[in-house]
Amino acid sequence: MAMLFPFGFPWPTAMYLALFVVSMAIYTVFMQYVLAGSIVLLAGYVAALARGGAGTGPVRVIRSGSGLIQKVVCDWLPPVLGLAIATAIAPLLFVQVLYRREFYAASQLLFIRSLLLVLALTIAFLLLYLLRRPTSGGRGPLTQQLAALAASACLLFTAWAWTGIHVLGLHEAAWRYTYTSTRWIYSDAEVWPRLGYWITSSFPTLAVALAWQLRWGRCLHQPRDLDLASRRLKTLALLGLGTSFAEAWLWQLWLEPSARAVVLSAFALPYGLLAFAGMGIQAGCWLSIQSGSQLTTCRLTLISSGAALTILGVLVVREARRLAAIDVATLFEAHSRAAHAPGLSLFLVSLATSTALVAACILIVRRALRALQ
């Protein structure tokens, strides 16, 4: 691991690592929208409850910045969760090819947690659909608040469970103890800063995604609401960037020296710096935003590029930490065998075709919406 990621490995290993990181980055965008979105939605319901406005769920209070944000989030959470689940399949597949032993051992040892997280995702998906519907059918504001709380709890549980499975896979020394122990809960000090990072870093991603949504639908909203919403998004993004930066720093302090040496080596350090540069770009662009009219395409493209750099950089650092925990050389033969499995050309053709078809679906909808405006 003397060269920059993913170079320095045999081509099959480098290819699978690159595929895993890219597919994981696509999934991360949707996952972060859902994770932060559910917390924002819950916060909206709690704020409505604190105001004592029975019957005034956040979806109804749309004559404010927060209300507008919550309306859009509530409307989009179910399909985005669907997209998150769909895009999660590719990294889940490549992780089994890359780290078969580590991933299988961890998911075997934490089986109940693995199955519960599927159940939690199912419940969250159904609850988010329920929340999206208007408050007809006898569902009062309290029921909605409880549903938002349960959906957030399910999604946070999923995040915690995945982090636990990932971290256990890194600590082979803990497998024997976890296997013989009667304890159901696996906990490691590394779980919390990691989990904290993923939760807080979700807010800047949500903020930029919502900013795009508000920009595209600007003719549907009042300019005053857009101004207020853009200032709320700025606060959300800056808070998320600040806290996630602090947690990333904490996490690397927490690492054992051998793992930290790999993370801070030429293998991964440039990606870590790239992630911080991405955070800087995002913070710089958000700082000057005061009104909805400043959410221009150019500025949002710049913020999105910063977010993409951050996500990619962090994912590579995450892989560097994993590779530091295992003997990489033992994986090369298995990766080489896997790379020669049938179907690579079929996958490449279908990937190109499917990308074109997804673009076609988006263009069809965009054309129809433009015709209506």
Partner 1 sequence: MDSYFPIHAYSPFMKGIVGCGLEIVHALLTQMALGGGVLLFYFERLRRGGRSKYAGRFNTGSFPAVVSASFILGALTGVAIWFVSIQQSPGRIGSIVGGLHWIWATEWTFFCVEVVAGYAYLRYQDRLSGKDRLTLLALYSVASWLSLFLKSAIGSSPLTSTPVGQSQRLWSVFFHSSFWPSIFSRTIVALAIAGLGACMVIETFVPEDREARQALMGHASRFLAPMLLIPLLSIWFLASSPAVGSFAARWASPSTMICVGITAVASLVLGAVGLSAFWYGKLALNPLAMALLGVSAFLATAGCELLTKTIRRPDTLPQAWFSGSLCQLDRTKERL
* Number of residues counted as binding partner 1 (CB under 8 A): 60
- Using the rule CB under 8 A, give the single segment among 148-156, 233-241, 279-287, 354-362 that binds partner 1: 354-362
CB of 270 to partner 1, least distance (A): 28
What is the C-alpha to C-alpha distance for residues 203 and 73, in angstroms, rounded to an integer? 12
Site string (178-217) toward partner 1, x via CB under 8 A? -x--------------------------------------
- Interface characters, 118-157, with partner 1 (x: CB under 8 A): x--xx--xx--x----------------------------
Contact flags string 314-353 toward partner 1, x per CB under 8 A: -------------------xx--xx-xxxxx-xx--xx-x
- Select the span of 36-44, 205-213, 310-318, 365-373 touching partner 1 (CB under 8 A): 365-373
Shortest distance, position 318 Cβ to partner 1, whole Å: 21
Distance (Å, whole) CA 6 – CA 25: 15
Among 15, 49, 85, 174, which residue interacts with partner 1 (rule: CB under 8 A)? 85
- Contact between 115 and partner 1 by CB under 8 A: the answer reads yes
Residue 285 · residue 304 · CB < 8 Å? no
Which lies closer to partner 1 via its Cβ, residue 291 or residue 355? 355
CA distance 55 to 176: 53
Single out the residue of 5, 20, 27, 94 in contact with partner 1 (rule: CB under 8 A).
94
Candidate segments 48-56, 115-123, 247-255, 313-321, binder of partner 1 by CB under 8 A: 115-123
Q: Which of 277, 334 has the CB closer to partner 1?
A: 334
Q: Would you say 122 or 222 has its CB closer to partner 1?
A: 122
Q: Which is nearer to partner 1, 11 or 249 (CB)?
A: 11
Selected from 11, 104, 177, 249, the binder of partner 1 by CB under 8 A is 104
Closest distance to partner 1 from the beta carbon of 294 (Å):
28
Q: Kindly tell me the sign of the dihedral angle through the C-alpha atoms of 1, 344, 169, 163.
A: positive
Out of 1, 15, 92, 308, the residue judged to bind partner 1 by CB under 8 A: 92
Please give the Cα distance from 139 to 31 (Å, whole number).
Answer: 28
What contacts 24+ positions apart, CB below 8 Å, involve 80-83? Answer: 80/30, 80/33, 80/34, 80/37, 81/30, 81/34, 81/121, 81/124, 81/125, 81/128, 82/125, 83/30
**Could you give the C-alpha distances from 50 to 25, 45, 46, 147, 339, in angstroms and in order?**
37, 9, 6, 17, 57
* Chain positions contacting partner 1, by CB under 8 A: 79, 81-83, 85-90, 92-94, 96-97, 100-101, 104-105, 107-109, 111, 114-115, 118, 121-122, 125-126, 129, 175, 179, 333-334, 337-338, 340-344, 346-347, 350-351, 353-355, 357-358, 360-362, 364-365, 367-369, 372
